[in-house]
Structure 1
């Protein structure tokens, strides 16, 4: 099965923060890949914007080094590389001042899609949005793309949304979360809503519980100062894990339309029940001999910031009443894995002898490192010697199942092309962001008021012992982190 690449409409993409790490490591290499497969129209342009004192030639030289490092296979094609670099320009703009804005507005073409990607600090979102409007660089059909964090709490999220709306309407704002660009996340919607097999079972009657895990093997090396002001709850739960929960739990939208999908996601967030202190575990990794622990890497020996969170979440609606969702994320864990495990209830009456250690039916939706879907089933163990049961997996690993598919895409490049096409389905709406903060804020405020230290856990482990008990006390078990 070979995919058919559909070219995007002609566009000018203006990338603020073009010399930064994310732009050089992810965004620009992703655009180069889209160019290589023919999805970028020949006349499309990428305009890098930053405050660095360089010209277009210097920026292209810097970009060439980045492409050699982060897109090495296609960068070996010299002719292709030179054609891509020819589509790239650079402008020095003083975001906080006046210099460069008129040049930017003059350089943009009429009658093409204008997209402004803000790979900069959120504190600059409002300034840039306002100046794009006042210098007439943006139009009523332009799009603006912003990276997380979308605020630090509900109040700051509301202020950030107000800043963006200084020059753009909600239909023009694209809040990007790269988790939603993953193939498996989108396949979750296809699996649920395109197959008559699963939707009748997708409810509390048939599902015992759901586990959502985002585990990282790395610590906060190099990001300690930022992370210590955020923590796992703000950095991961309020956005990434919340999005995975919404897509797993949402009702079928009336149609596959951006607002219809996002309406259902908001309903899930609004139905989340308050989480009590007995249903949350916070953790902080420690190293050995005072080396490599969170305190050393964050630079604050008294920090109470959590690097691990596990919690039990209830959804107060007809579909999910009585079925808990367990969320877990952390740094310096045993392995790197992101997955959704939907664990089904046992049959109401088991006619076979009890099987020791039987885990039952489960659907495992893997986001990383190996994107795919596994369905755990119970079968008769082959061979003589009596009727014995065994558990086997039906495994669809996308790299194997779709090995003839010609166009694997990184999450960023898929989402950027959605921006160009004007498809907001996989982007968060302003009210969705605010609803997520409205749920998360009381949890964070309760932690801060308690002044308690997170529970320590060893780097390279599965997390704090109390996180295991969160499930064990109810007769359930976390899936092992590889």
Structure 2
């Protein structure tokens, strides 16, 4: 089965911070892959914009090098690379000054989609939005894309929302969270709302608990200054894990429409109970075998910033009353693994006797690596006397059914940037959604700051602090293993 390519209308895309790390590793490679995938019309312009003094040819040379490093699967096609580079240009601009803005405006076409990607720090969002409007580049077809962190707390998030709202309508603002662009995350909605098999069981009557894990093997190297101010709660839980929680727990929207979907996600966030102090574990990695610990990396020997967090959350609504949601994320763990485990309850009565043991179904949605969905089911162990039971995975990756040409999932940025061009906000956060997430997060952070809480140490290459295991064991449960 061959995927149907949905073309987009002609567009101009300006990447502010066009020489930065995100542009190099993600944005431009994503654009190049969509170009190679036949999703672009002929008349498209991509402009990098930054303080660095470059002309078009100088920028194209840089882009060519980035694509060879970060998109080697496509850049080997020299003809495709040359055609893509012919659509790329560059304008030096001062984000908080006047230099370059008239030249940038002159490069853009009239009466077409214009997308401005703010791949810069939040402190520049207001200046960029103001100058886009002041230089006549704002229209009904203008869209702006903003990266996290969207605020540092509720107050700053509200201020940023107000700043952007002073120049653009909410339907023009795309707050990007790359986790929502992953194929498996989108498949979560298809599995839930497209299959009668699961939706009737998706509630507290049948689900014992849900685990959401985002484990990373990397440390905070290269992000020391930002991360030591933010920590795992602000960097991961408030946005990425919150979005996954919403998609798992939300009610079926009336239709697959941007505001209908985001309305249901917002209801989940507003139904979250405050997290009790003994339901939170903070950790900070320490060095082993010559590897530097967190404090050595950030250069702050007294840092109390967490690089790991685990917590138990509850949603006070009819669907999920009494069902705990366990969230954990951390740096420098034993394996890179992002997975959602829906842990179903045991059968109310076993007809097979005590020797059969306890068995429960688990639906695992793997986000990275090895994206896929599996369902653990219980069967009779082959060749054994009596009725011995064993749990086996039921493959739901659909790789064979979809064919080899569909086994490589597009990068999340590929999907999300094309959704910006199409004007589809379904996978982007709305302003009130961001503020509600901060309203839930802020009291948690304030609680441990006021109590002087210190993160628990854990070794690099481990599964995290031991207290996180106790968080589950106190409830008679266990974390599913962190697996590569």
CA contact (8 A) 1:358 1:391 kept: no
CA contact (8 A) 2:356 2:388 kept: no
| 1:409 partnered with 2:407 | no
Question: In structure 2, what is the equivalent of residue 47 of structure 1?
Answer: 47
Q: Aligned ranges for residues 258-297 of structure 1 at < 5 Å?
A: 258-288=258-288, 291-297=291-297
Matches of 2:372 and 2:196, distance apart in 1: 20
CA contact (8 A) 2:280 2:310 kept: yes
How far did residue 288 of structure 1 move? Answer: 2.6
Question: In structure 2, what is the equivalent of residue 322 of structure 1?
Answer: 322
Question: In structure 2, what is the equivalent of residue 453 of structure 1?
Answer: 454
How far did residue 170 of structure 1 move? Answer: 0.3
CA contact (8 A) 1:290 1:296 kept: no
CA contact (8 A) 2:356 2:389 kept: no
Q: Deviations over 1:370-396 (max 9, x none)?
A: 110010011111114221101100022
| 1:78 partnered with 2:78 | yes
Matches of 1:422 and 1:8, distance apart in 2: 10
Question: In structure 1, what is the equivalent of residue 257 of structure 2?
Answer: 257
How far did residue 397 of structure 1 move? Answer: 3.0
Aligned length: 482
Q: Which runs of 4+ in 1 moved over 4 A?
A: 398-401
How far did residue 308 of structure 1 move? Answer: 0.5
| 1:141 partnered with 2:141 | yes
How far did residue 162 of structure 1 move? Answer: 1.1
Matches of 2:79 and 2:18, distance apart in 1: 23
Matches of 1:268 and 1:400, distance apart in 2: 35
Q: 1:442 to 1:401 in 2, by over 3 A?
A: farther
| 1:20 partnered with 2:20 | yes
How far did residue 355 of structure 1 move? Answer: 5.1
Q: Aligned ranges for residues 101-112 of structure 1 at < 5 Å?
A: 101-112=101-112
Matches of 1:221 and 1:44, distance apart in 2: 36
Matches of 2:27 and 2:230, distance apart in 1: 24
**Larger CA deviation: 389-398 vs 307-316:** 389-398
Matches of 1:365 and 1:89, distance apart in 2: 40
Matches of 2:374 and 2:143, distance apart in 1: 37
What CA RMSD, in Å, does the superposition of the two structures yield over aligned residues? 1.3
Question: In structure 1, what is the equivalent of residue 312 of structure 2?
Answer: 312
How far did residue 402 of structure 1 move? Answer: 3.3
CA contact (8 A) 2:357 2:389 kept: no
CA contact (8 A) 1:370 1:397 kept: no
Question: In structure 2, what is the equivalent of residue 123 of structure 1?
Answer: 123
Unaligned ranges ≥5, structure 2: none
Matches of 1:398 and 1:450, distance apart in 2: 49
Matches of 1:242 and 1:191, distance apart in 2: 19
Q: 1:400 to 1:468 in 2, by over 3 A?
A: farther
CA contact (8 A) 1:225 1:299 kept: no
Question: In structure 2, what is the equivalent of residue 368 of structure 1?
Answer: 368
Give the secondary structure class of the aligned counterpart of 1:366.
Answer: strand
Matches of 1:181 and 1:273, distance apart in 2: 28
CA contact (8 A) 1:273 1:314 kept: yes
Q: Aligned ranges for residues 239-258 of structure 1 at < 5 Å?
A: 239-258=239-258
Q: 1:3 to 1:330 in 2, by over 3 A?
A: same
Matches of 1:232 and 1:424, distance apart in 2: 26
Q: Deviations over 1:203-229 (max 9, x none)?
A: 000000000000001111121221100
Matches of 1:355 and 1:107, distance apart in 2: 74
Give the secondary structure class of the aligned counterpart of 2:354.
Answer: coil
**Larger CA deviation: 375-384 vs 303-312:** 375-384
CA contact (8 A) 1:126 1:166 kept: no
CA contact (8 A) 1:281 1:467 kept: yes
Question: In structure 1, what is the equivalent of residue 163 of structure 2?
Answer: 163
CA contact (8 A) 2:359 2:378 kept: no
Matches of 2:318 and 2:14, distance apart in 1: 45
Q: 1:398 to 1:152 in 2, by over 3 A?
A: farther
Question: In structure 2, what is the equivalent of residue 344 of structure 1?
Answer: 344
